[in-house]
Chain A
Amino acid sequence: MLCSRMLQARTRPRLAFLVCLALVAACQSGSDKAKDAEAPVADAAPTKDAPAAPAPRPKPAPAMPSPIGEPGHGADTPNPLSNVYFGEQHLHTVNSPDAFAFGTRNTPDDAYRFCKGEAIMKSTTGEMVQKGTAYDWCAVTDHAEYLGVMPLLLEKDNPLQDTPIGKLIASGDPKKGEEAFQQIIDSAATMRVISYMADPKVAATVWEKQKAAANKHYAPGKFTTLIAFEWTSQAMSVNLHHNVFFRDDKGPDTIFSSFDSIKREDLWTYQEVQRAEGHENFSIPHNGNVSNSMMYAPTTSDGVTIDKQWAERSNRNTVATEIVQTKGASETHPALSPNDEFAGFETSYKHLLGSGGVVGKVDHSYVRRALTDGVGFQEMLGANPFKYGIVSGADSHNAFSDNEEFNFTGVHGNTDKTPKIRLTSGTTVAGEPPKDFGTPGATGVWAPENTREAIFDAIKKKETFGTSGPLMRLRFFGGWNYADALADDEKFVEKGYKGGVPMGGDLPAKPARAKAPKFAVWALKDPKSGNLDRVQIVKGWYKAGHPWEKVYDVAWSDGRTPDANGKLPPVGNTVNIKEATYTNDIGDTQLATIWTDPDFDPSQHAMYYVRVLEIPTPRWTTYDAKALGIDPLPDVPATIQERAWSSPIWYTPAPELVKKQDFYPGLRQALP
């Protein structure tokens, strides 16, 4: 038959398989055709509508689900082996002054409903927008600086109406209105506060509304929201932004803005005070990539080298960091990781915010280096200031957490609302040209159930991973005794937990007989996105007082063989750029392996995290070009390899194994 002939030919087995499947489906159903992403049922058995044979009585359902993989996602009882819950932890609405100035009028209410999967009208265009796959949780993080003041000024009889800015708006003259809003934006950007605009009474009223919106959409077991805000410290265009999240339903009475202080140590004090008052919280920084080497610098805000107490405070208050969002990826930079062939992902956005085009320094701006410096500090001080879990964010300023590349409709109000504007605009009030922005990322959280407490605790525990958008599922465990056969074991997850720690954890003490740590990884693709190319483990460690890194390919698709230098050939590229399509006849559905560190030195502190790459798929700019019927833009990549990053697993040697250095040049800030 045709199929067997095709299979005898030297076609790639998966391709041949898919083609044959398409033929079988076509033969059986007459008209159905197998698609790449999601194919229809090819089923000769009777269906409900056409019972060809009498169906036997269905067997009763088992009483308890077997604990394989992911038991009871969304089930009513907590799962001790955890389910993955995908969501958003960074989002702006009309209540952020800059979002308002971009023309956004969608509210926190709209933001939560969009995350839940509802179709929402986008205020800038009037079109309905909707997620392909709904999220399980969401946190709106509007800027604390002038939170909600802009929409308030438009209300009649607002308490600010007799202030100079209030009068400009009340004049009804659009020019004066614009001038007033510009004053507010400038004030927020330069952090010179207009005191009457930041009236605590006004702020408290708006903050209560913000909390009420979060509480209204919280449905335990179904959809979780977190009460949160953004502290927007940005002196001299140095982005030190942190989002702050609360565990309780009441939330704090007051929030902390960069008007209160631009130093993160002061933010921690606010966090510690709130914690003492019963509002358990943590903060998550973002956009190290535009921090001009300050976000993960080895110094305090006052320029002094970090000490143990500072490291411990950092660790207590700041539990994770964003690795990607619309303003680019912060994993690493080609200049920092010259041997990492995949380091240049979404690094087009590079100008410091509000700097008028200054490109920042890279040294301490990226997460990989920060995690590596962190283990250096652990060795030097006995405490790690950068012990971060990994999450991704949107940072959209239009209320929409728009993580799907094929479904992207812009992130900054009027500045990027249509495909034409997105592909043709130069620099806008929102920063770089829209083409340099990426789509929002997605965050996966491994938690026993979908409640505020469980999601909060899991992020705090760092059992999280970030993706560049697709909803891949990623398990990662570290231990000393995993059997190689575990990769195929149906009890992978159970044994993973039992024999070690999950992502975000510390390796247990090294047993005397163990030679090197073993890591168990299992990745599953997003059924609506590209197949998987490979799984990598990134290792960072300190040696002779300097940071080191290495990227290992540990599992890959299509049975490829590394070359003589150990380099894995590329997975290929099926993207039809003109049509903005791709096929899944390369890559694998899932990849799993048990990996042992071949270069392990028991005396060196180290951290390990996973990076999963998809096969190449079209970038959003390519989908837009197709929609407009034009050629893709020449100066941004037409295809990208979407990816996921796990939180690290850390190795800390027993004290007697450590060979401490006299000093650590890699962590020494140039002193004045």
Chain B
Amino acid sequence: MLKEPLFHFLVLGLLIYGGYAWLHADDAPDNEQTIVVGAGELAWMQTSFEKRWKRGPTPVELGGLVKEYVRETVLYREALAMGLDQDDTIVRRRLAQKLEFLVQDLVEVSPPTEEALEVYFGEHLADYREPDRITFTHVFVDPDRRGAETLGDAAEIREALEKFEDPADGAKELGDPFMLQSYYPERTEAEISKLFGGDFAKSVGELSEGVWHGPVLSGYGVHIVYVHGTQTFPQPSTSEVRERVVQDWTAAKREELNAEYYTRLLEKYDVVIEEAPDGGPAAQLERSP
């Protein structure tokens, strides 16, 4: 957002507008043929330069800013006088965006009530929970080594694994060499997916703890898997993640109010969309926000 040129344009637009209105009150009359660059304009130019460059403008730079301001004002007034603002796509779009921007600014003014936060939080519980972390051991059964016997072997290996008191010992004794580790502590599904692929990660997340499972398939081949435990994280309370909830609520609310505002505006108009000769996309448009 902060890097969006349009955003800069809008901020500058607002500042010019605001600065202009403010200056208008105290400064010498600024009629159609007079352009005044007063202390207010100068201060504003300096501040806006400083904001960007972390230093004040040199006299030469300030001279440039003034020159540009005057030039822009002259051209702007001439353009208005010539009616160049009429039916210009860019002017249309920027005015529309400016209004949208102003509206968004208004929405931000009202902070959420505690009640509204609780309701929002309740509806989006899953977004605020840490993902589960699974600890597992696996034994690889290599289809390239075992060919047609792979499944049968896997079943035998699973039975043999069940005889070990400690699954780690079993994993050391049985299975085929494999480049990845046999034991992974506290991994999220996303981390398991990076190592073994998405479907294996999903499968492991669904296995019950304390028994050997298999065959579980991955992009590599066949695995016998033992889940030691799953670390789940308690649902945080609103107070623990309050800042995030406020941010998310505000973003959601803004979107909602924008849509509402537009709907209200739209109601004031009759929209006529003429059928394109070929009955093209216009026919599918509906009168909805």
Contact = CB atoms under 8 A, between A and B. Distances in A.
A251 B79 CA distance: 48
Contacts of B8: 155-156
A345 interface: no
Given A56-B211, A61-B229, 7 more contacts: A17-B147, A74-B187, A157-B45, A524-B180, A528-B219, A557-B144, A592-B177
Chain B CB within 10 Å, residue with most, of A58, A66, A157, A525: A157
B135 A39 contact: no
15 contacts: A14-B144, A38-B200, A40-B203, A45-B214, A49-B206, A58-B228, A62-B183, A66-B183, A70-B179, A75-B185, A155-B52, A528-B197, A557-B144, A589-B221, A590-B179
Contact of A43 (B45, B65, B172, B207): B207
B209 A38 contact: no
B198 interface: yes
Contacts of B37: none
Given A40-B203, A69-B181, A588 B217 contact: no
Interface in B200-244: 200, 203, 206-222, 226-229
Interface residues of B, number: 70
A161 B220 contact: no
Interface in B154-185: 165-168, 172, 177-185
Nearest to A48: B208
Contact of B151 (A20, A39, A61): A20
B61 interface: yes
Contacts of A489: 177
A41 B203 contact: yes
A17 B154 CA distance: 12
B134 to A, nearest CB: 11
Interface string A212-249: 00000000000000000000000000000000000000
Contact of B210 (A16, A58, A71, A522): A58
Contacts of B218: 38-39, 527
Interface in A31-88: 34-35, 37-43, 45-49, 51, 55-62, 65-66, 68-75
A66 B182 CA distance: 8
Contacts of B122: none
A40 B210 contact: no
Given A107-B3, A157-B49, A159-B61, A590 B178 contact: yes
Contacts of A74: 187, 191
A198 interface: no
A336 interface: no
Given A20-B151, A161-B64, A43 B220 contact: no
Contacts of B68: 161, 170
A592 to B, nearest CB: 7
A61 B143 contact: no
Contacts of B194: 133-134
Given A20-B151, A155-B8, A161-B68, A69 B216 contact: no
A41 B185 contact: no
B151 A589 contact: no
Given A37-B197, A41-B216, A159-B53, A55 B142 contact: no
B148 interface: yes
Contacts of B64: 161-162
B250 interface: no
Dominant SS at the A interface?
loop
Interface in A121-143: 133-134
A134 B143 CA distance: 27
Interface string A85-112: 0000000000000000000000100000
B213 A56 contact: no
A155 B5 contact: yes
A473 interface: yes
A428 interface: no
A51 B226 CA distance: 16
Contacts of B196: 527
A73 B5 contact: no
A24 B215 CA distance: 10
Given A13-B147, A524-B220, A527-B197, A43 B209 contact: no
Interface string A8-21: 00000110111011
Contact of A61 (B45, B65, B177, B228): B228
A75 B222 CA distance: 24
A32 to B, nearest CB: 10
A94 to B, nearest CB: 8
Contacts of A37: 197, 219
Nearest to B142: A589
Contacts of A57: 210
Contact of A527 (B12, B49, B187, B220): B220
B199 A488 contact: no
Contacts of B181: 65-66, 68-73
A74 B166 CA distance: 25
Contact of B147 (A14, A69, A71, A154): A14
A21 B65 contact: no
6 smallest beta-carbon distances between A and B, as pairs: A527-B219, A13-B147, A58-B210, A39-B217, A41-B203, A527-B197
A45 B211 CA distance: 9
Nearest to B183: A65
A205 interface: yes
B23 to A, nearest CB: 18
B195 interface: yes
B5 A154 contact: yes
A55 B211 contact: yes
Nearest to B175: A490
B217 A17 contact: no
B258 interface: no
Contact of B148 (A16, A35, A48): A16
A263 B38 CA distance: 53
Contacts of A34: 217
A7 interface: yes
B58 to A, nearest CB: 10
Nearest to A75: B185
Contact of B143 (A133, A157, A589): A589
A394 to B, nearest CB: 19
Contacts of B172: 66, 490
Contact of B197 (A38, A42, A590): A38
Given A13-B147, A527-B196, A47 B208 contact: yes
Contacts of A157: 45, 48-49, 52, 65
Interface string A431-451: 000000000000000000000
Nearest to B155: A44
B206 A41 contact: yes
Interface string A358-395: 00000000000000000000000000000000000000
A39 B185 contact: no
B150 interface: yes
A525 B220 contact: yes
Contacts of A65: 181, 183-185
Contacts of A529: 219
A605 interface: no
